[in-house]
Chains A and B, each alone.
Chain A
Amino acid sequence: MPIPPSTFPAPHGSACAPARLVLQGIGKVYPTVVANDDVDLSVGAGEIRAILGENGAGKSTLMKVIYGVTRPSSGRMFWEGEEVAVASPAHARKLGIGMVFQHFSLFETLTVVENVALALPGSPPLDELAQRIVEVSARYGLPVDPRRHVHALSVGERQRVEIIRCLLQNPRLLIMDEPTSVLTPQAVRKLFETLRQLSAEGCSILYISHKLDEIRELCHTATVLRAGKVSGGCIPARESAQSMARMMIGKDLPHCEHGVASAGGELRLRLAGLSHACDDPFGTDLRDIHLDVHAGEIVGIAGVSGNGQQELLRAISGEEPLAEKFPVQICGVEAGRLPAGKRRRLGLAFVPEERLGRGAVPAMSLTDNALLTAAHSQQLVGAGLLRFGRARDFARRCIDEFNVRCGGTAAAAKSLSGGNLQKFIVGREILQAPRLLVCAQPTWGVDVGAATFIRQQLIDLRNRGGAVLVISEELEELFEICDRIAVIAKGRLSPARAASETSIEDIGVWMSGLWPGAETDVPATETRHA
C-alpha cells in the first residue's frame, strides 16, 4: 500500500516540529549516468526509514549527497527546518549526521581506537576513547578489541568498527548502508535492539538493505528507488517480502532452480587434518580440519567472521602455502605446498571475499582483470605475450553471460558497483570451467536479483559436475544452495551435515563451537559475541 513518504507522522516529536531531514528534487548527474533524478524524501525525528532499490538504483549516491561526500547537481536539502548545503562529511557530522559505509573507510595500518579518533573532532586521549569503545561495543552487542590493527580484522569485524565509530558521535540522523551484511543472526538482533533504542531516543535512521525481511522487521517506512527515481513508498510491516521486491525490481522475486546433481561424484577437495599456525598474532590458528568436497555437490561452511575463514581460504587457495603436502588435496593431488598459480592449474578457481584489491585490480580494465586469473586456462597468453584480443573476448563473455552492467571491457574494475563486480569475478572464475570452485561470501552486499543469479550459477556449476565450496556468513544463503553444511568456530571445523537434515537453529548453536563431539573449552560466543 504505497503512501506519499512525506505524510508519515513521526513516531516521536510533535506534529508541528519540522522534519529532521527533507530533500526536495535532489538530482545527481555523472558524466555517463544520472544517479539521482528529482528525489524527494522526508525523514521525521526517530523515524527508521528504509531505502530500497537494486544495485545502481541510486541509493548510495543519495546517501553520499546527504552525508556531504558528493554535491547534488540540483535540488535542496533542509536539516531540522533550515536549508543547508553539506560541504563535507565533517560538516555533516557537525550537523549530527553519521554514516556507516558499505565500503569501509578505515585505515588498515592503524588500530581500531586510532581510526575512531580520526573521525572525532579534536584529539581525544586514546586510553579514554578505548574505554568508551569497549563500553559502546558491549552495550550494542558489537564486540571489538580497540587495540587491534584494522588490517588484521575480518570484514565483519571492520563493519562493527564502522558502526561503533558512528554511534560514538551521538548522531541525530544515522545512515546505514548495508550494515548487517556480515553479522550473525544474533548480532543482527542486537543491532536492531540498538537501532530501536536510538530511534526511541529520537535519532532518525536511514537504512539501506537488500534484506527485505530485515526491513519488514525494523523499519517504520520505506522509500523505493528505481533507476535513480523514487518509484514508491510503503509501510514495510504491511507488505510482504514479495510485494516489496516487486516494487524494487518491477517483477517477482526470482528463485533458484536446483535441478539434479550428477551422482557419485569423485573427490575434488580433501582437507586431511589441516592445521596451520597463523603468522598474524590476531589471526586464528586452524586446528585439525577435515572436509571432503565431491564433484556435483555444494558444501557450505558457516560461521561468524573471524573464526578462521580467512586463514582456511588462504590455505586452500594457496595464497598461504603450508609446510606439508598432504593436508590439502585438490583433485587427487597433494597440494599443500603448491603456490596459488599451480593449484589453479589443477582445476581450482576461487572467488575471494574482497572484490576490489584482491579479486580484481581496482585501476585496471576488465580485460586486464580477466587476464588476472584466466591467462593460462583460457590461453590469453602466448609465448609470454598478452593476447589482448582473446582477453577482451573472454572479458566480453564474462560481461554478457553474467549480465555485468558496466561501461564495456575497457571500464576500470573500480567503476563497477559491488554487485556487478562480483558478477564479473564469479563469471571469470566459473567460465574457466573449474573442477573445484571455492567461493567466499558470494553475495555479500549484492542485491536480490544479482544474488539469486549468482547462487543459480553456483548451482548450475554443481549440476554440470563441478565441486563447489562456499564460505558464507549468511545462513539463509547456505541453506538455499548447499547440499551439506559444516560450521567453523575458533579455527575448528564441525562435521558436515546434509542440509536437509539440519536447521538454521542447529547450525546457529554450532556456530558457538558447540557441536556434538566438539572439544569444548571456551565457547566462541563468549569471547566473540558476549
Chain B
Amino acid sequence: MLELEARAEPSRLMAWVSPLLAVALMLLGGMVVFAALGKDPIEGFRVFFLNPVKDLYAVSELLLKAAPLMLCAIGLAIGFRANVWNIGAEGQFMLGAVAATGVALHFGNAESALALPLMIAAGALGGAAWAAIPALLRTRFNASEILVSLMLVYVAQLFVSWLVFGPWKDPDGFNFPQTRMFGEAALMPALVEGTRLHFGFMIALGALVAGHAFLARSHAGFRMRVAGEAPEAARYAGFSATRMIWVGLLLGGAAAGLAGMGEVAGPMGQLTDKVGSGYGFAAIIVAFVGRLNAFGILLASLLMALLYIGGEQAQQYLNLPNSISMVFQGMLLFFLLGADVFIDYRLRLRRRAAPGH
C-alpha cells in the first residue's frame, strides 16, 4: 500500500520539479480532454501548444500576452511573500487602464512627447490608488484584504462600463461601449515591426528585474520576506506590519495598473468594457507556479500566455469553446497544488504486515 510520509526537511529539488510535473500532468490531462471531446489528442496538442510558437508573429503574440501577466504577477508576488493577499489585481489593472485612458483622451490627437510618460505614471498611480482602498481598510479596520480587493474588481468593472457607456463613449462609435481611439502619441511604440509586440514588454522585463532586486537585496524586501516566513520574528524585530501591508498592496496595484495601461495603449488603442480580460486573476496562478520568484514568474507567464493563445487556436481550428483555456489553467493550478504535497511529503510503499508483529 502507498502512504504519504512527512519528509524531515522540505525538498528543495521537489520545489523546482513540482511546477514541471504540474505542466506535464496538465498536458496529459489536456490530451484526455481532447480525446473525450472527440478530437484527435495529437492534433489537439499541436494546435494548442505548438501553433502559438510556430513563427515570429505567433511568438510575438505570445510575448504580448505574457507581458501583462509578468507585470501583475511580480507585483502580487511581493505582497504574497509578506502574506499580503491581494486578489484584486484585475480591478487594479482596470483602474490603471482607466487612468491612462484619461490622460490619452486629454491629449487627443496632439503630438506630445509627454503623453506616454504621463500615461505610464497615471497607469501605475491608478492601480496603486485602487489597491490603497483594501490597504486602508485593512490597516484601519482590520478588514480582510482578500475580500475587499476581490470585491473591488467588480466595482472597477462597473466603473469602466459606466465610463464607456457614458461620459467617455466615442461619439462617432455607433454607440459601441468604447472610447475614441488614442492618438499616435498615446500609443506604445512597437518593438518588432509588423507585430503587435510593444514597449510594454520591456517594462514588464524591467519590473521583473526590479522586483527581484527589491526582494533579494533591499531592506524593505527583506522585511517583507521575514514577515511572510515568521510573522512573530518580524514583530520582534520591529518591522511595521502596517507598512508592509501598504507596500505590498501599493506595489501590486501599481504593477497591475501599468499592465492595464499597456493594454489600452498597446493592442487595444482605446478603452472598452472588455478591458479586464482576466490577466489579474491569471497572474495569481502565474505568481504561484513561478514560486513567487522573478525567474519562475518569467517562465510561468510564458506558459500561461501559451494557454491563452492555445485556447484561441483550439477555438479557431478545433471548434472547441474558448473556455478550454480556463480548463487548462485550472488543471495547471490543481496539479501544482497536488504536486506541491511532495515538497513536504514523500510516497512510501508500506508492507502489508506492520513491522515488529
Contact = CB atoms under 8 A, between A and B. Distances in A.
Contact of A352 (B226, B236, B239): B236
B8 A361 contact: no
Interface in B230-256: 230, 232-233, 235-240
B218 A384 contact: yes
A381 B218 CA distance: 8
Given A84-B355, A319-B236, A344-B238, A364 B229 contact: yes
Interface string A346-362: 00001010100111111
A95 B218 CA distance: 53
A86 B355 CA distance: 7
A317 interface: yes
Interface string A71-89: 0000000010011111110
Q: Indicate the size class of the contact surface on chain B.
A: 20 to 34
B236 A358 contact: yes
Nearest to A381: B219
Contacts of A340: 235-238
Contacts of B220: 384
A371 interface: yes
Interface string A298-333: 000000000000000000011100000000000000
A443 B243 CA distance: 34
Interface string B200-243: 00000000000000000111101001100110110111111000
B218 to A, nearest CB: 6
Contacts of B237: 340-341, 372-373
Contact of A358 (B222, B230, B240, B356): B230
Nearest to A338: B238
Nearest to B355: A85
B114 interface: no
A354 B217 contact: no
Given A79-B356, A352-B236, A361 B222 contact: no
B218 A317 contact: no
Contacts of B238: 318-319, 339-344, 373
Contacts of A361: 226, 229-230, 233
B354 interface: yes
Contacts of B217: 385-386
B236 A368 contact: no
A375 interface: yes
A290 B30 CA distance: 70
Interface in B93-147: none
A91 interface: yes
Contact of B233 (A87, A350, A360, A385): A360
Nearest to A70: B8
A467 to B, nearest CB: 19
A33 to B, nearest CB: 14
Sorting the interface of chain A by its residue count into under 10, 10 to 19, 20 to 34 or 35 or more gives 35 or more
Given A70-B8, A85-B355, A385 B236 contact: no
Nearest to A343: B238
Nearest to A371: B222
B219 A385 contact: yes
A339 B240 contact: yes
A430 B237 CA distance: 15
Interface string A255-283: 00000000000000000000000000000
Contact of B235 (A319, A371, A386): A319
Nearest to B351: A87
Contacts of A86: 356
Contacts of A518: none
Interface string A461-491: 0000000000000000000000000000000
Nearest to B236: A358
Contacts of B235: 319, 340, 358
A255 B230 CA distance: 36
B236 A359 contact: yes
A372 B226 contact: yes
B222 A82 contact: no
Nearest to B231: A357
Contacts of A368: 222
Nearest to B216: A386
A358 B219 contact: no
Given A70-B8, A385-B217, A358 B354 contact: no
A363 interface: yes
A341 B240 contact: yes
A87 B237 CA distance: 41
B356 A350 contact: no
A342 B237 CA distance: 10
B356 A357 contact: no
B39 to A, nearest CB: 46
A211 to B, nearest CB: 28
Interface in B309-356: 354-356
Given A339-B240, A381-B219, 18 more contacts: A70-B8, A82-B356, A83-B356, A91-B356, A319-B235, A342-B238, A343-B238, A352-B236, A354-B232, A358-B232, A358-B233, A360-B233, A361-B230, A364-B226, A373-B236, A373-B237, A384-B219, A385-B217
11 contacts: A84-B356, A85-B355, A87-B354, A88-B5, A91-B356, A342-B238, A352-B236, A361-B226, A368-B222, A372-B237, A384-B220
